Amino acid sequence: MTVGWHPYGFRGIRHLLLSVLPVSGVRNRKLGIYSLYNPRYHSYVMPLERARPRWLPLLSLVLPACLVCGCGGGSSSGMISAPTITVSVSPSAASLKTGATQQFTATVTGTTNTAVTWSVNNVVGGNATVGTISASGLYTAPATVPNPNQVTVTAASEANPSSTGSATVNIVAPPPPVTMTPVDVRAGAETSGVNIALAPLTPTLQFLAVGTGNTAGATGVSVAQGGTANLFLVGNGFVPGTTYQVLGPAGDVTVTQPDASAFCTTTDGHPCVNVRIQVSPKAALGPHNILVENGAGEVTVFVGGLLITVPGQ
């Protein structure tokens, strides 16, 4: 766009600022007009008006503003660039088992339009192979591990789809389930190398406490090698017909099964029984389990209920 004329040729505002500054107002006495004069190139570049313009001193302020706003002709080097839009995704990495979910969040800056489009491995919304993602960023891993097992979750700005942020997700298979083979283990027997599934203990047969005399607690009792003791056992279902054992090597502990007179009831209403035991002088040292069994084959165990010690300790 040209801004004036002169016998010496046309000039644009950009050319005026870049080529002829500094300029000054010079009156052409012959023509009776004012022009901008370039003392560097000794040329008149723009006629003004015949009377001295009152705004001539402000020209140096107006023209630079035009340069910034791009009001001159020619190139667009004076245009102001649009803000840069950036997108970030959180979390930036995740590891999920097949079928698991992960919520992702996209943060958009540089625009008031913060909406994004989600995709997985460049597939909008994902698919059954790489996993799916909702419009809110909830990712669901596929049912089987893809190959490769790492996928990329991407959020693209709706204001500028070329502005994106991404996160990586590693898909792993869950551990195989543990299988158990039921085996029959009778009281006092030993086994190893197998998984043992025990039937739930019935509420009518449940160990509560072990002691001696007429006092019982939850910590068990200690008896020295070669010693004897009257165990005071408290538990639900401890009634005549139940049998009592101390587990361990054969012959370590001899248990005298109680008769009907040995059964009792504690002051708080729980069944109890007095059981006489004899510990062998050569009995294995350490804790031993006390087992109770009823006629229905149900059992309850007090783990470590009897501690065999060295005499004198």
Q: Does a structural domain hold residue 185? A: no
Alpha-carbon gap, residue 196 to 180, rounded angstroms: 7
Give the dihedral sign, CA 148/153/158/164. negative
* pLDDT (0 to 100) of residue 136: 96
Does the reported pTM lie above 0.75? no
* pLDDT (0 to 100) of residue 233: 94
Alpha-carbon gap, residue 290 to 87, rounded angstroms: 66
Output 88 or 31, whichever has higher pLDDT: 88
The CATH number for 110's domain is 2.60.40.10
Q: Does a structural domain hold residue 177? A: no
* pLDDT (0 to 100) of residue 101: 96
* pLDDT above 80 for 174: yes
Q: Are 103 and 155 contained in the same domain?
A: yes
DSSP class of residue 312 equals T
Q: Kindly report, residue by residue over 89-103, the tens digit of the pLDDT.
A: 999 999 999 999 999
DSSP class of residue 59 equals H
Give the dihedral sign, CA 221/226/230/236. positive
Q: Are 243 and 167 contained in the same domain?
A: no
Q: Are 154 and 246 contained in the same domain?
A: no
* pLDDT above 50 for 32: no
Q: Does a structural domain hold residue 221? A: yes
Q: For the residues of 213-242, what is the DSSP string, one character each? A: TTEEESS-EEEETT-EEEEEEEEET--TT-
Q: Are 250 and 157 contained in the same domain?
A: no
Alpha-carbon gap, residue 274 to 270, rounded angstroms: 13
Per-residue pLDDT band for 296 (boundaries 50, 70, 90) equals confident
Alpha-carbon gap, residue 153 to 102, rounded angstroms: 11
Which of 121, 153, 172 finishes a domain?
172
Give which of 149, 141, 54 is closest to 98, Cα–Cα: 141
Q: Does a structural domain hold residue 161? A: yes
Q: Are 146 and 229 contained in the same domain?
A: no
- Give me the domain span that covers residue 286: 206-309
Q: Does a structural domain hold residue 31? A: yes
Q: Convert 270-288 to b/e letters by CB count within 10 Å (16 or more is b).
A: bbbbbbebebbeebeeeeb
| Residues 6 or more apart in contact with residue 55 via CB below 8 angstroms | 62
* pLDDT above 80 for 204: no
- Contacts within 8 Å (CB) and 24+ apart, 182-189: 187/245, 187/247, 187/291, 187/293, 187/299, 188/245, 188/247, 188/291
Q: Are 141 and 236 contained in the same domain?
A: no
Q: Are 210 and 305 contained in the same domain?
A: yes
* Structure token pair of residue 79: 């245009």
Q: Does a structural domain hold residue 5? A: no
* pLDDT above 50 for 277: yes
Helix, coil or strand: residue 182 = coil
Q: Are 159 and 216 contained in the same domain?
A: no
- Beta bridge partner(s), residue 303: none
Are 114 and 155 a contacting pair, CB within 8 Å?
no
Alpha-carbon gap, residue 32 to 24, rounded angstroms: 16
What is the mean pLDDT of the segment spanning 241-254?
A: 93
Q: Are 97 and 46 contained in the same domain?
A: no
Q: Does a structural domain hold residue 197? A: no
| Residues 6 or more apart in contact with residue 259 via CB below 8 angstroms | 240
Q: How many domains does the chain have?
A: 3
Q: Are 263 and 304 contained in the same domain?
A: yes
Q: Does a structural domain hold residue 44? A: yes
Q: Are 65 and 108 contained in the same domain?
A: no
Q: For the residues of 269-286, what is the DSSP string, one character each? A: S-EEEEEEEEE-TTPPPE
Q: Are 90 and 56 contained in the same domain?
A: no
